[in-house]
Amino acid sequence: MGLTLIEKILLKNSLSKRLDDFIYAKVDFCFGNDITAPLAVKQFERAGFKSVFDSRKIGFICDHFLPARDFKAANNVKVLKEFARKFKLKHFYDIDKCGVEHVFLPEIGLIKPVDLIIGADSHTCTYGALGAASFGVGSTDLAAVMKEGKCWLRVPETIKFVYEGKLPQWIGGKDLILHTIGKIGVDGALYKVMEFSGSVIKKLSMDDRFTMCNMAAEAGGKTAIIEPDEKTLSYLKAAGVNKRNIKLLTSDEDATYSKIININIENLKPQIACPHLPSNVKSVDKLKKIKVDQVVIGSCTNGRLSDLAVAAKLLKGEKVKKGLRAIVIPATPKIYAQAYQKGYLNIFQEAGYIISPPTCGPCLGGHCGILDKGEVALATTNRNFTGRMGSPQSFVYLCGPAVAAASSITGRISHPEEVT
């Protein structure tokens, strides 16, 4: 009987060299951010641990509440900085060096295909776009991994999603994953691996693949994965990964899946997740009367250069609707610099956008764009639960960068064709 890609990676890392229901596995890299890692440090110290398993394989990425929104946020970074100094951690990144963790870590070449990645953040599943097995865990689990370099895992089943058809204009990875979550629900892949495949996935850019894998968490998935290919290799080369350190695996043709779901996207229109669930998905054409108070373009889902490029193309020569707040957040300093060099930031600024430094910001209700009671936001972020971006009585709609840009011009949820 054949194995899925995720099973092959877990088998490679399993200490028993077999796949039981539960395995104890070696971890290739682990990390936390300025919210989750301080809790892990606290548990690490409470347990009395005196050493880490490998100072080169632990990362602290400060991205959620930075630039520090208050003294507690500042203290969290200080705690991580002191721990990193004490144990000589190679990968401590403050706001001047990193940006949003799930964009930054692949960007600098720390994630490779066939790696087993453990991160104290639910969107660790993003790295499946590179063919890695990446799992989000709690802070206590991260503390144990920092000490031992190993982790207990229940081996998940895999659902295979096969996307076919010609990709329509203005449709990207965000639309594909929102459409998928709308079909299966927020628990449709509960503790399952979402394996994305088919002719559509093969044609997708790496940025769109990252976006799709990122939102597996919103379908209840344990993680997501895409078989690495030439596009993956090109991305890794640009990230400075030596090809000798890259191993490519694929799922066997006779691998066992819990389910295979075929999705034809030939006539798909831009998708919007309505309040207050990522599965409450409707076509943009059905929401044109919804007025918005704020538009946010950014996050680990859609803060990459190609996302900014799509938005800038629509915004060139246009103005943000009077009275609407528009915020753009390049995900990393590198993307910020590239967007500046290509003139995108100038376009955003002239249109009336506020340009934020790289940060998670309003995505989790942190800072840089919190909503008040009754306000409506349209965002390229990944969650729209009650109170996610501020007041429990606010409303968040999720979309791709093209719809976000178009809507910031009209002041209501709009199809990109309305402004082209």
Domain ranges of the chain: 5-262, 272-419
Residue 243: per-residue pLDDT: 87
The pLDDT, as a whole number, for residue 84 is 97
pLDDT at 357: 93
* Contact predicate 58/37, CB 8 Å: no
Beta-strand pair 376-379/395-398? parallel
One digit per residue, the tens of pLDDT, for the chain of length 420 reads 799 999 999 999 999 988 889 999 999 999 999 999 999 999 999 999 999 999 999 999 999 998 888 999 999 999 999 999 999 999 999 988 889 999 999 999 999 999 999 999 999 999 999 999 999 999 999 999 999 999 999 999 999 999 999 999 999 999 999 999 999 999 999 999 999 999 999 999 999 999 999 999 999 999 999 999 999 999 999 999 998 889 899 999 999 999 999 999 999 999 999 999 999 999 999 999 999 999 999 999 999 999 999 999 999 999 999 999 999 999 999 999 999 999 999 999 999 999 999 999 999 898 999 999 999 999 999 999 999 999 999 999 999 999 999 999 999 999 999 988
d(CA 37, CA 53): 16
What is 272-419's CATH topology?
A: Aconitase; domain 3 (3.30.499)
b (16+ CB within 10 A) / e for 360-380:
bbbbbbbbbbbbeeebbbbbb
Domains 5-262 and 272-419 share a fold: yes
pTM across the whole model: 0.95
The matching CATH number, chosen from 3.30.499.10, 3.40.710.10, 3.30.470.10, 3.30.300.30, for 5-262 is 3.30.499.10
Q: What is the per-residue pLDDT for 97?
A: 84
pLDDT of residue 96: 80
